[in-house]
């Protein structure tokens, strides 16, 4: 007590700190004191808000009120810099030091409490986080992006917020200052007082409407909330110039403001439909003001110029529904600015940038400054002093455009000018791809490199991948030689210090984590490690130091997207506020033609290619683009190069089919593709014969191909690999003792050799299991003498594992180069097997490696095509990537990885050999088998594969199964065919449809197999393995069939004729006996009586048993309320689609399972050690483990809800009248397929579905209601009702009304996706239905996915697929209806 009194007296003797002034805000006064550490004050004076502005003043007044009350503040603001700058302005006004934490999804306890470091000598030290420093030193703690932090993290601060208390990892405890003053602290104390001036300002976007995690209620309750009016923040952000504004800007300002107000008053229906015009981003007005002030616009802008301006200010409109664009266009017209052009910006040939300005010249001033001049539309010249790099400039105007490595087209120069305009305004840039699913090239990489070269920048490419955390974007862990841990800057921060142009490639894949860079991009400030920070500028008297640095004035960031994700998933308001967005613009057909012709390809071929590409791209829908191949300019260029160098390889049908992987397209997409081939006059040619290759002195020799449609065939010689260039690689050349040459695989080897040896391409080989992907590649490497490395991917493969293996030796982490890095360095081929089994973001790293020869390693090293810096790993010119994977989609259930690779790989579909190739291969493998038997086996397997493609069997039987079957028959000629077949078909014993199909096919080809499936298994077991028979004793006579007694204890009964469900008995219902009328199994072992006794049944007993069986069947049908005829009718419908049911069921089950698929959850306190956090483990952190767990949905994604589906069937009079073509029967079969499939699902709650009909009488006829339980009799009644309605309904058509109603009804349901699939046989001309009518109905609600299957007269309308690309299907053969609907549903729901 005495010690405490003495401490209090001594504290009173300390002279009080004198204020440096008094702050008056309205009715509040506050003494302002000097800062203890001025370097922690705001350094962004030029970005601070104007306190004289009434809106700013009101917010600052509130914050000062809360500060004086000792309360913490929570600012709720739309995404953008306003709230952060408001907090910094407040700190500046009260002269308060501050700490800053940018929250993101990877933030953990370490970032909020204390980190651990190992210093030299092995000493462990604890480093305070920004939050702990703030509470110790009385600073304001600014937490930005609270909505991004996972819900369990922020409560770490709850006690600090509520009681100003926190237990720290170093054993000390922060306590409330009042409590601390009551403690008796004699000597060193573990207690540290929280400073009385410590305050927290949290910043978050409101959730909803913005994406993010909801606030934890206890965390929320500790703050005083302040909603920042979006309109006020829009107007309050600093605008450089004052005085009268141009009329153009004033009108633009009014449109932006009115859009903001309108977006706040949206009604419920609009919110659901998402068709309202979204509000402009927070920085849009500031950007518009800066742009119009620097580049005064002409009196009138063209519609295209206006569209480019609007999309630069509001990039979300690129992917918004067209109705939003139309609403904005009306506003521009009403304001007198003119109408907006198309938001697609495709086909625009204009060399002007924004507002009609054109690039005039670029002149170097010094190592980091340049003058850039633009010519205005009025003839004036605007010159700007801009940041630049120290390297040699690519001179502009171009002295010799023809000598450039690119084509400076009007489109390209317009985009380049726009980039330079944004640069002149001081903004970082985001180049955003178009929303169209498939377009010509937008020249993304070329634009970035040309922009960099024209300003002499050193370009730093940083390739993003999904595993990249917010901290890794800024800094990375490092272990010194002695085991001490430290941090080093990431390439982004290194670029900021050195004044580089940093290209953030594939920015879209890191999702909301990108927001953690907002402060660096917008304010040029960022917190680093251990109190280090980059500030905007140094104030008077400050010098740059280890803890305080400034980003180089020439530093700039340009971000681009991978195009593997839909724009709506990442192009958010936050992204729009960080960057000046430049909307991508694809090449026109003329520009694309010019580039293709430069390859030397014939003009006629180029014309056909472009005609095909235009039709294919316009037919692609957003639903299909994630799985189907885009036909980009690079793919066309690859084909043109191939035809130019090998003119005889001008089979465009084969080349285009290969590029699109047509072999693996869904049935509906295949139909569309064939239509496009026909429209373009591209005919399928008969495949040529490929003689076996030979190894000669000059190289690998492929003899000329022969065939009826083969012209001017020449031999192809591929140079062999020089072993002297890689002596160590000799042991890596594959060796195969046997390879059975055949035409198809020889042709594939020739194509692969040309692609990766002559054209220098990297390859992707896709195919079913067992078609020889690995064998063909290994054989080719063997023939070429090519060393190869090998990596097999799997579910748990990480990016770090692809780069190197991590080893911990004596407390020091060391990295060993992976096979991938060895292949890169030595120029080897690397096989990446099972590429579809790894996560998509892991495979994505191959995109930049194949496209640009670039890779950024986790240890700081870089892979580059040429050595630019010390430590760079140079890509050997002979290095090639070959990715192997199974075909996409069912039944392989791999990831849709192709889209993340882009067009950087040459794709090949590896199929089963044709009949001739397969016969030759098998004849070489099994010369003892007769040619006739081999021919029959090959034909049977060809039919099985066709059955798989047609949906009647569910497994894709491959060459591997046939080879194994033939090997068995060759080795064991005494085994019967059915015994050999068991090797392949025992997997299918419980798939009666497969066994039945197999029996039909074998019989068709004259292959005799008496028993198949389970009968074959039992027959073999009975003959070869055991012969267990039960010999009944006593009376074995038969009286008459009966059911028998049910044993209440369900004991096993053998023999006799008393108990039902026994085995080896007589007369009663059971198994293994004789004389009974029905089989009955009660779970006991089956005892089988001898066949002789079983067959010794008198005729009158057999007849009585049959009669009783008929009576029992009738009784069961009566229970089902079905007649025998009805059961037979339903059975016939069911049998017709049994294979489709199995495939659709497996797909839907897989989707439900995939949603619940477990992933590696990182930062856990137990589980498996996480290689990427070994350094943290050395320092003693607990969260260095990973565990398998449920994947959390991406921030802003809805929690998983059911998918809402409505099927519309045509039950009009014409369906009955013209049923001779099978349309009615096939529709009924399709309904059975749907009812049976959804009834079998284990997770029925995942899909809410119903079936409605439409006829000449009604647009809405309920057939199956949502959540209705259907027994077999109910399903029969549904299809019976369908037929009955067609008999009695009046003529007419309600197709359009039915779609309208279905879309409206489905959209009302709270789901995570909505679908309407309709079937119609309407005669569109007769009922006056136009393409516009159908488009209106099917586009009625943008969130509802619609599809239309036209049969009968509807199938004859050629404009259906053209006007409804990817959603309208003509099905001339009614037998295809079930397959088409299954394909549509599969494609729709699996997106």
Q: Are 395 and 404 in contact (CB under 8 A)?
A: no
Q: Which residues sit opposite 461 in a β-bridge?
A: 503
Q: How far apart (Å, rounded) are the C-alpha atoms in residues 206 and 203?
A: 10
Q: How far apart (Å, rounded) are the C-alpha atoms in residues 188 and 182?
A: 16
Phi, psi (rounded to 5 degrees) for 868:
-105, -30
Q: How far apart (Å, rounded) are the C-alpha atoms in residues 254 and 250?
A: 6
**Distance between start and end Cα atoms, the chain:** 71
pLDDT of residue 502: 95
Q: How far apart (Å, rounded) are the C-alpha atoms in residues 827 and 804?
A: 17
pLDDT of residue 807: 67
pTM of the model: 0.79
Sign for the CA dihedral angle at 944, 947, 952, 954 comes to positive
In the three-class reduction of DSSP (H, G, I as helix; E, B as strand; rest coil), residue 614 is classed as helix
Q: How far apart (Å, rounded) are the C-alpha atoms in residues 727 and 1258?
A: 79
pLDDT of residue 1173: 60
Distances (CA, A) of 304 to 320, 330, 356, 430: 18, 15, 10, 20
pLDDT of residue 355: 93
pLDDT of residue 368: 93
Give the pairing type, strands 73-76 and 224-227.
parallel
Average pLDDT, the chain: 83
Q: Are 489 and 502 in contact (CB under 8 A)?
A: no
pLDDT of residue 1028: 46
Cis peptide before 209 (omega within 30 of 0): yes
Q: How far apart (Å, rounded) are the C-alpha atoms in residues 438 and 627?
A: 12
pLDDT of residue 1094: 55
Q: How many CA atoms lie less than 13 Å away from 813 in the CB half-sphere?
A: 21
- CB environment 1291-1306: b (16+ within 10 A), e (fewer): eebbbbebbbbbbebb
Q: Are 970 and 926 in contact (CB under 8 A)?
A: yes
pLDDT of residue 1197: 47
pLDDT of residue 393: 93
Q: What residue ranges of the chain have pLDDT lower than 70?
A: 1-16, 121, 151, 184-188, 238-244, 265-275, 347-348, 482, 621-628, 806-814, 889-891, 893, 1020-1040, 1061, 1064, 1066, 1069-1122, 1150-1200, 1354-1355, 1390-1391
Q: Which helix (H) or strand (E) holds 808?
A: strand 804-809
Radius of gyration for the alpha carbons in the chain, expressed in angstroms and rounded: 37
Structure tokens at 380: 């004036």
Q: How far apart (Å, rounded) are the C-alpha atoms in residues 452 and 429?
A: 12
pLDDT of residue 94: 94
Task: Assign residue 552 a region (left: φ > 0; alpha: ψ between -120 and 50; beta: otherwise).
Answer: beta
Residues 6+ apart with CB under 8 A from 11: none
pLDDT tens digits, one per residue of 580-590: 999 999 998 99
Question: With 0-12 CB in 10 A as exposed, 13-18 as middle and 19+ as buried, what is 270?
Answer: middle
Structure tokens at 771: 């078609």
pLDDT of residue 275: 46
Q: How far apart (Å, rounded) are the C-alpha atoms in residues 658 and 642?
A: 13
Structure tokens at 1214: 């014409």
Q: Are 132 and 114 in contact (CB under 8 A)?
A: yes
pLDDT of residue 1107: 67
Q: Are 377 and 356 in contact (CB under 8 A)?
A: yes
Q: How far apart (Å, rounded) are the C-alpha atoms in residues 830 and 194?
A: 58
**Where does 1083-1157 have alpha helices with state H?**
1091-1095, 1099-1119, 1124-1136, 1138-1155
pLDDT of residue 1194: 52
Structure tokens at 845: 């790293």
Q: Are 842 and 790 in contact (CB under 8 A)?
A: no
């Amino acid at each position: 007590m005495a010690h405490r009194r003495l401490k209090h007296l001594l504290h009173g003797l300390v002279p009080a700190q004198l204020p440096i002034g008094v702050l008056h805000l309205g009715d509040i006064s506050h003494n302002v004191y000097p800062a203890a550490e001025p370097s922690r004050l705001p350094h962004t004076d030029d970005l601070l808000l104007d306190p004289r502005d009434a809106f700013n003043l009101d917010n600052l007044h509130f914050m000062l009120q809360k500060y004086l009350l000792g309360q913490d503040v929570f600012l709720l603001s739309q995404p953008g810099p306003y709230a952060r700058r408001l907090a910094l302005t407040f700190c500046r006004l009260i002269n308060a030091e501050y700490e800053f934490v940018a929250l993101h999804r990877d933030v953990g306890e370490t970032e909020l409490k204390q980190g651990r470091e190992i210093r030299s000598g092995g000493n462990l030290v604890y480093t305070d986080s920004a939050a702990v420093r703030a509470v110790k030193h009385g600073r304001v703690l600014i937490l930005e992006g609270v909505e991004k932090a996972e819900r369990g993290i922020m409560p770490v601060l709850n006690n600090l917020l509520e009681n100003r208390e926190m237990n720290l990892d170093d054993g000390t405890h922060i306590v409330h200052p009042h409590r601390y003053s009551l403690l008796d602290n004699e000597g060193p104390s573990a207690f540290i007082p929280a400073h009385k001036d410590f305050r927290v300002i949290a910043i978050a976007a409101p959730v909803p409407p913005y994406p993010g995690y909801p606030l934890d209620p206890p965390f929320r309750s500790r703050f005083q909330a302040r909603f920042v009016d979006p309109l006020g923040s829009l107007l309050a952000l600093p605008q450089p110039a004052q005085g009268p504004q141009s009329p153009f800007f004033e009108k633009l300002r009014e449109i932006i403001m009115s859009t903001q107000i309108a977006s706040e008053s949206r009604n419920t229906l609009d919110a659901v439909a998402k068709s309202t015009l979204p509000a402009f981003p927070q920085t849009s007005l500031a950007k518009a003001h800066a742009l119009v002030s620097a580049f005064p616009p002409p009196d009138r802008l063209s519609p295209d110029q206006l569209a480019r301006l609007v999309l630069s200010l509001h990039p979300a409109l690129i992917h918004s529904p067209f109705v939003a664009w139309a609403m904005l266009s009306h506003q521009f017209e009403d304001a007198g600015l003119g109408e907006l052009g198309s938001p697609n910006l495709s086909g625009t040939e204009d060399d002007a940038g924004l507002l009609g300005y054109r690039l005039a010249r670029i002149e170097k001033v010094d190592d980091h400054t340049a003058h850039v001049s633009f010519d205005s539309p009025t003839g004036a010249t605007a010159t700007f002093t801009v940041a630049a790099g120290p390297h040699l400039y690519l001179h502009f105007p171009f002295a010799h455009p023809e000598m450039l490595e690119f084509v400076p087209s009007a489109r390209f120069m317009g985009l380049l000018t726009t980039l330079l305009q944004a640069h002149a305004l001081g903004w970082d840039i985001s180049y955003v791809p178009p929303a169209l699913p498939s377009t010509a090239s937008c020249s993304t990489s070329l634009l970035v490199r040309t922009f960099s070269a024209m300003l002499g920048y050193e370009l730093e490419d940083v390739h993003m991948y999904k595993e990249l955390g917010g901290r890794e974007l800024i800094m990375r862990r490092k272990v010194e030689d002695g085991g001490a841990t430290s941090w080093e800057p990431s390439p982004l921060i290194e670029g900021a210090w050195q004044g580089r142009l940093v290209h953030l490639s594939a920015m879209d894949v890191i999702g909301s984590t990108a927001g953690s860079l907002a402060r660096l991009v917008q304010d040029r400030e960022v917190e680093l490690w251990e109190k280090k920070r980059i500030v905007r500028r140094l104030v008077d008297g400050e010098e740059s130091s280890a803890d305080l640095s400034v980003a180089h004035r020439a530093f700039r960031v340009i971000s681009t997207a991978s195009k593997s994700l839909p724009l709506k998933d990442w192009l958010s308001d936050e992204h729009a506020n960080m960057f000046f967005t430049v909307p991508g613009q694809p090449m026109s057909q003329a520009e694309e033609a010019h580039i293709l012709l430069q390859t030397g390809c014939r003009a006629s071929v180029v014309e056909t290619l472009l005609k095909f590409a235009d039709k294919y791209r316009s037919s692609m829908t957003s639903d299909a683009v994630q799985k189907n191949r885009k036909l980009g300019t690079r793919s066309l260029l690859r084909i043109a190069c191939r035809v130019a160098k090998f003119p005889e390889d001008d089979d465009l049908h084969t080349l285009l089919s290969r590029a699109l992987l047509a072999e693996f397209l869904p049935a509906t997409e295949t139909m569309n593709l064939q239509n496009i081939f026909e429209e373009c006059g591209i005919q399928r040619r008969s495949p040529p014969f490929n003689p076996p290759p030979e190894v000669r002195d000059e190289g690998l020799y492929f003899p000329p191909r022969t065939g009826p449609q083969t012209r001017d065939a020449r031999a192809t010689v591929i140079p062999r690999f020089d072993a002297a260039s890689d002596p160590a690689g000799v042991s890596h050349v594959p060796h195969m003792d046997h390879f059975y040459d055949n035409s198809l695989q020889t042709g594939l080897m020739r194509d692969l050799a040309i692609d990766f040896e002559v054209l220098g391409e990297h390859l992707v080989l896709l195919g079913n299991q067992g078609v020889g992907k690995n064998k063909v590649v290994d054989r080719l490497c063997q023939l070429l003498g090519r060393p190869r490395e090998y990596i097999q991917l799997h579910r748990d493969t990480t990016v770090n594992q692809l780069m190197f293996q991590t080893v911990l030796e004596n407390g020091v982490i060391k990295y060993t180069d992976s096979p991938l890095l060895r292949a890169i360095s030595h120029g080897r081929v690397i096989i990446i097997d099972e590429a579809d089994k790894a996560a998509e973001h892991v495979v994505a790293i191959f995109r930049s490696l194949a496209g640009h020869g670039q890779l950024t390693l986790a240890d700081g090293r870089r892979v580059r095509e040429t050595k630019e810096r010390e430590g760079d790993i140079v890509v050997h010119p002979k290095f090639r990537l070959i990715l192997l994977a199974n075909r996409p989609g069912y039944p392989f259930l791999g990831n849709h990885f192709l889209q993340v690779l882009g067009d950087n790989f040459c794709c090949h579909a590896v199929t089963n050999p044709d009949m001739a190739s397969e016969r030759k291969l098998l004849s070489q493998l099994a010369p003892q088998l007769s040619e006739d038997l081999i021919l029959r086996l090959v034909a049977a397997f060809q039919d099985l594969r066709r059955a798989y493609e047609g949906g009647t069997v569910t497994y894709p039987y491959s060459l591997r199964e046939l080879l194994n079957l033939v090997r068995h028959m060759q080795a064991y000629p005494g085994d019967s065919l059915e015994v050999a077949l068991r090797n392949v078909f025992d997997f299918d014993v419980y798939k009666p449809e497969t066994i039945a199909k197999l029996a039909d096919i074998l019989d068709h080809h004259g292959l005799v197999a008496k028993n198949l499936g389970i009968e074959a298994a039992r027959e073999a077991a009975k003959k070869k393995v055991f012969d267990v028979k039960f010999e009944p004793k006593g009376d074995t006579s038969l009286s008459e069939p009966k059911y028998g007694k049910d044993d209440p204890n369900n004991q096993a009964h053998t023999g006799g004729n008393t108990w039902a469900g026994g085995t080896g008995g007589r007369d009663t219902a059971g198994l293994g006996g004789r004389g009974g009328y029905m089989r009955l199994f009660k779970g006991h072992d089956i005892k089988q009586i001898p066949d002789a006794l079983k067959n010794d049944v008198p005729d009158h007993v057999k007849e009585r048993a049959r009669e009783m069986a008929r009576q029992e069947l009738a009784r069961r049908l009566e229970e089902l309320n079905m007649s025998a005829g009805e059961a037979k009718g339903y059975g016939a419908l069911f049998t017709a689609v049994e294979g489709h049911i199995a495939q659709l069921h497996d797909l839907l089950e897989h989707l439900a399972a995939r949603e619940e698929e477990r992933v590696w959850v990182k930062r856990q306190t137990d589980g498996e050690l996480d290689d990427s956090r070994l350094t943290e483990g050395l320092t003693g952190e607990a969260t260095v483990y990973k565990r398998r767990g449920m994947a959390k949905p991406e921030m802003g994604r809805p929690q998983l809800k059911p998918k809402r589906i409505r099927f519309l069937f045509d039950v009009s009079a014409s369906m009955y009248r013209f049923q001779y073509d099978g349309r009615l029967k096939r529709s009924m079969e399709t309904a059975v397929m749907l009812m049976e499939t959804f009834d079998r699902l284990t997770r029925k709650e995942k899909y809410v579905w119903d079936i409605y009909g439409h006829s000449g009488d009604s647009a809405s006829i309920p057939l199956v209601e949502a959540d209705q339980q259907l027994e077999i009799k109910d399903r029969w009644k549904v299809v019976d009702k369908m037929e009955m309605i067609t008999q009695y309904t009046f003529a007419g058509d309600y197709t359009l009304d039915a779609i309208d109603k279905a879309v409206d009804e489905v959209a009302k349901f709270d789901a995570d996706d909505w679908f309407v699939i309709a079937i119609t046989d309407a005669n569109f001309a007769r009922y006056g239905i136009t393409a516009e009518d159908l488009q209106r109905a099917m586009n009625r609600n943008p969130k509802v996915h619609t599809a239309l299957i036209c049969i009968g007269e509807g199938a004859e309308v050629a404009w259906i697929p053209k006007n409804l690309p990817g959603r309208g299907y003509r099905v001339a053969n009614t037998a295809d209806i079930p397959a088409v609907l299954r394909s549509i549903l599969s494609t729709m729901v699996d997106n």
